[in-house]
Structure 1
Amino acid sequence: MSIITFKSRAAGDVIMFGKVAKVLLAVIGKDPEDTRGIVTVVQLPGAIAALRDAVAADKARAPAVSEDSDDEDAPRGMEGPVALWQRAAPLIELMQYSLAEEQPVIWE
């Protein structure tokens, strides 16, 4: 199992399992098989927009789960699967800080 770390001088590192990181790299138009790469400051607005679009699509596909549900077997909290939109949130935040500070994001 591989680990990919996203880095920027604007914020702390975001560390992800390779499988998830590769999905997010593909979403922003980067080659998921590249072991290292960069999202330039110029590319950051497009990357953030692409991730936000993927998050919106993921939320639209997810079934609505009510906290008041009587279903004892329904996953809640840490017991349920982690959705793409939840996994993308730290990367979006890193990219937003990077854009504000005009710093690129690299991964390795």
Structure 2
Amino acid sequence: MLYKFKSKAGADVIMLAAHGDQALKALGRDPAAQGIFQAADLPALIARGEAAIAEEQQALDRAAEEAQAEGRKAPPKPEVMLRQRLWPLLELLRAARSADTDVVWGV
């Protein structure tokens, strides 16, 4: 399955199922084949996405600090960080917020 996030405000954002599920969870939504981010909800969704990115970075920093304090090697970072995975969708959400329009997927 693919997620195809669409809005009149910008280009489509396409994600594989696992990555789309991760993005939706980061934005506080349950993964679903269809859905909508309404224009009124976009500021809160953007803030939630940015907070999820910050939380991931803080968790990685804490893990590295703990490993250093215990004399261990720091755990490896994910190959693709949430920041990178979520960036295109957040840009679409920001464009939709500016245009006061919705973002949909699966329709």
Relative to the length of structure 2, the TM-score reads 0.78
List gaps (5 residues or longer) in structure 2: 65-75
Please state which structure has a larger fraction of its residues in helix.
2
Paired letter, 2:79 = P
1:92 pairs with 2:90: yes
Q: Tell me how many residue pairs correspond in the alignment.
A: 92
Q: Structure 2: how far apart are the matches of 1:26 and 1:82?
A: 16
1:23-34 matches, within 5 Å, as 23-32=22-31, 34=32
SS for the counterpart of 2:14 is: strand
The superposition leaves residues 36-66 of structure 1 with CA deviations (integer Å, 9 ceiling, x where unpaired) of 10000011111101100001111223358xx
Q: Structure 1: how far apart are the matches of 2:80 and 2:22?
A: 14
RMSD, aligned α-carbons: 1.7
1:3 pairs with 2:14: no
1:17-96 matches, within 5 Å, as 17-32=16-31, 34-62=32-60, 81-96=79-94
List gaps (5 residues or longer) in structure 1: 65-74
The superposition leaves residues 6-55 of structure 1 with CA deviations (integer Å, 9 ceiling, x where unpaired) of 110000001111111112112223221x2110000011111101100001
Deviating runs (4+, > 4 A) in structure 1? Answer: none
